[in-house]
Structure 1
């Protein structure tokens, strides 16, 4: 057996309000759940982006918790890559720069097939310092 897809991805943030504004307003994602001080969740295509306050998620669930999710969390900056077409990568770069968000890198990935480009990626940071990427799926042969 093997999983068919990644259903959800998590990033840990230092300021939930700033993260909610960034992912909702700048990235245009639809908020689907929120618990103040703990988490905010967004729909992204067929998946879900989970943004957690790491300190809150390290606490064990209360004995009477409706959903006994085990403690989890991390410290430091994470990474997430959003999928986009070549044209959309250009549009995202323009949008992000217009919002005053620095593009840290913008390049074409090498391809084993010298006749084809490997695909383009741009990198930038969210308000918590997480490394975000927008890339063409062909960087992974998709």
Structure 2
């Protein structure tokens, strides 16, 4: 098999939530992500660093596009809890824990991985597992350090 063409990296990640208004409040007010797109009862989109977080209502996105739709995205959706991990600088981890607790968010786990790097786990209003983690859990550097040096995995 031939070697595939190169990739840039993850551009967008999707989670699913039926209550998009509640999801929007969580992602904008608790997590501080700017909402950059919204269609009631269908989706809410948020800027997360250099990537986009898409939050879809699975009931709406499972329906195929109508004939002549300007955006012919194939149907998709998921049931159950998804997972989304956001990179956080190590110096900000304690501040994030305090911020989440002050917002009434229950911390499910907070630990340091054997290879180094800390993760904090909690849930969004839809029940998705959200993780804040230091990039070094995957032996990654901060984005600005990566630009200065290429690492091969």
Q: Is TM > 0.5 for Structure 1 vs Structure 2?
A: yes
Q: Which has the higher contact order (CA 8 A, sep 6+)?
A: 1
Residue 48 of structure 1: SS of its match in structure 2? strand
2: distance between equivalents of 1:17 and 1:26?
A: 13
2: distance between equivalents of 1:99 and 1:87?
A: 20
Residue 40 of structure 1: SS of its match in structure 2? strand
Q: 2:118 aligns with which of 106, 117, 120?
A: 120
Instruction: Give the aligned partner of residue 130 of structure 1.
Output: 128
TM-score scaled to structure 2, two decimals?
Answer: 0.87
Q: Are 2:67 and 1:63 equivalent residues in the alignment? A: yes
Shift of 1:18: 0.4
How many equivalent residue pairs?
A: 136
Shift of 1:39: 0.2
Q: 1:5 aligns with which of 3, 6, 9?
A: 9
Residue 29 of structure 2: SS of its match in structure 1? helix
**Which structure: greater strand fraction?**
1
2: distance between equivalents of 1:30 and 1:106?
A: 26
Could you report, residue by residue, the CA deviation over 1:46-83 in whole angstroms, capped at 9, with x for unpaired residues?
Answer: 10000000010000000010011110111110000000
2: distance between equivalents of 1:89 and 1:133?
A: 11
After superposing on structure 2, the runs of 4+ consecutive aligned residues of structure 1 that deviate more than 3 Å are none
Indicate if the aligned counterparts of 2:14 and 2:53 stay in contact, CA closer than 8 A: yes
Instruction: Give the aligned partner of residue 114 of structure 1.
Output: none
Q: Where do 5+ consecutive residues of structure 1 fail to align?
A: 112-117
1: distance between equivalents of 2:100 and 2:119?
A: 14
